[in-house]
Amino acid sequence: MKAVREKVHLGGGEKRIQQQHEKGKLTARERLQLLLDQASFVEHQTYSRGRATMFGLTDKRQPGDGVVTGSGLVDGRQVFLSSQDFTVLGGSLGEMHADRIAEAQELSITTGTPFIQINDSGGARIQEGVLSLHGYARIFRANTLASGVVPQLSVILGPCAGGAVYSPGITDFVFMVDQVSNMYITGPDVIKAVTGEQISHEELGGAQAHAAKSGNAHFRFASEQECMDGVRRLLSYLPLNNREQPPIVDTGDPADRTTPEIMDLVPEEERRGYDVRDVIASVFDRDSFMEVHRDYAPNVVVGFARLGGRTVGIFANQPKVLAAALDINSSDKGARFIRFCDAFNIPIISLADVPGFLPGVSQEHGGIIRHGAKVLYAIAEATVPKLSLIMRKSYGGAFIAMSAKALGYDRVLAWPMAQIAVMGAEGAANIIFRRDIAEAEDPEKAREDKIREFKEEVMDPFVAAGYGFVDDVIDPVHTRSELIRSLEMVARKQQSIPARKHGNIPL
């Protein structure tokens, strides 16, 4: 029995393990060791063996069929996993390989524990043909049925090519490592043959390409070790499933800590940029922010943080990039993050400082209407506690997305310098006071007067507060304590939406 087990643990054998190490990659089992609490892994279907015999497979198949599956603990909390073994037939996915992954997925759903897949595979096992395609279909369906039920994380640590990419594409978060991970529908050779374009594997489908350009990767790391630390950290914010609440931890950061530094961080001049991540670092529990999609659509910042020890999802405008205007990609990024939070009982806190949706022909023709609509839809549909802080300005449709109580925000706070309107004062003056300005003796002075008047009469946060659309105008110094009090106020919120099979979110 010991000999059989040892053979299983060697996968494709010592030579191929050495080759794996020479490529700077860990083996499937080493990766599990890195990720899981010590000695917590319980393997499932350990001895499954491929049944196919064609094209020399009889000699090449190994017990386990090129993947390791089972459950383990991360910080004492259970997860289900699969880890593809590149040393066996290039980690390619055959019938039994797929069966192991799909069974782990099914167990993750029925036990209500997150599913983590580590991908390192040449894709569909070519010799097994339709059996392999059938296996992928099973996995995709299980990914889809698990969506919103248990968190699903994909860790790409090698090739992930062809239709295989659609499993990570369905899951909630994709992790990649520079110079190790590659993801694409077709690789550089096929692209060269079809379109004539020349590009390397890394440039086409590496971590940088997916983290910054395609948005397929949510997290990018320099090494496998850092990547696994990232997976462990992300899990620490999340509940195990959609029926549980996220963990509450004692972060040691006092709830009544004041935030005087905000006065220096945020310039009052509404056109001046600043880094909203500095505001996040100041207000939320110390060092608790884990940014998601950091390099993609950086005009919004999303991620998990803790506030008074509770997990929250932050959806913030970033004035440092594109003046924080919302565009197609940032709408997609925001909407998907909001929907994850809603599915897993994580309150959403929006930090608004936004001039509106980005104007431009490419945005209009690229579908900003349907993409922007996703954010509105996601916020309107979310039943978790939703708070908004209007920091400086919040205009037009972007105000509705970030801060409108009518869209479903439970509580809206504003700093005294906040400006709320259909558009900025200068733009408004040029439209509604055009004639008064033109006919004035001193048009420049008239323009300034009208702008000031508009700011006081229309944009002032107390105007919105007068309608009940802003619940309180707060001193920025007390932002942290006010947000904590607001979160506690709505933390036990229960809400249901009209019964339906499912909505039809704009895509």
**Residues at the site binding ligand HXC, with contacts judged by CB under 6 A:** 89-90, 92, 122-126, 133, 136, 159, 161-164
- The answer to whether the beta carbons of residues 387 and 347 sit under 8 Å apart is yes
Of the candidates 107, 100, 507, which has an alpha carbon nearest to the alpha carbon of residue 339? 507
Question: What distance in Å separates the CA atoms of residue 466 and residue 461, rounded to the nearest whole number?
Answer: 9
**201 or 320: CB nearest ligand HXC:** 201
SS3 for 269-298, per residue?
CCCCCCCHHHHHHHHCCCCCCEEECCCCCC
Cβ-proximal residues to 22 (8 Å cutoff; 6+ apart), any chain: none
Instruction: Catalytic residue, from 28, 398, 428, 465: name it.
Output: 398
C-beta of 30 vs 488, nearer to ligand HXC: 30
- Residue 206 is a catalytic residue: no
Q: Is the Cβ of residue 124 or residue 266 nearer to ligand HXC in the bound state?
A: 124
Whole-number minimum distance, CB 264 to ligand HXC, in Å?
51
| Contacting residues for 144 by C-beta, under 8 A, at least 6 apart | 170
Which helix (H) or strand (E) element contains residue 97?
helix 95-111
- Minimum distance, C-beta of residue 92 to ligand HXC, in the bound complex (Å): 4
Judged on CB neighbours under 10 Å (0-12, 13-18, 19+), 1 is: exposed
| Residue whose tokens read 């494709």 | 12
The alpha carbon of residue 380 and the mean position of all alpha carbons in its chain are separated, in whole angstroms, by: 19
Active site residue 397: yes
User: Is 215 designated active site?
Assistant: no
Residue 318 · residue 300 · CB < 8 Å:
yes
* Least distance from ligand HXC to the Cβ atom of residue 83, Å: 16
Q: Which is nearer to ligand HXC, 204 or 398 (CB)?
A: 204
The 8-class DSSP code of residue 84 comes to: E
Per the residue annotation, which of 112, 148, 163, 187 is the catalytic one? Answer: 163
Q: Which of 187, 309, 397, 408 is catalytic?
A: 397
Could you say which of 94, 162, 303, 313 is catalytic?
162
Within 10 Å of residue 214's Cβ, how many Cβ atoms? 13
H-type alpha helices, 344-420: 361-366, 368-381, 396-403
Using the minimum distance from each CB to ligand HXC, give the nearer residue, 204 or 324. Answer: 204
- Quick one: CA torsion of 224, 160, 232, 216, rounded to 10 degrees? 110
Closer Cβ to ligand HXC, 20 or 299, answer by number? 20
Q: What is the DSSP string of 167-204?
A: HHHHSSEEEEETTT-EEESS-HHHHHHHH-----HHHH
Nearer to ligand HXC, 55 or 462 (CB): 55
Considering the complex, what minimum distance in angstroms separates the CB of residue 136 from ligand HXC? 4
163 catalytic? Reply is: yes
Q: What is the set of active-site residues?
A: 162-163, 397-398
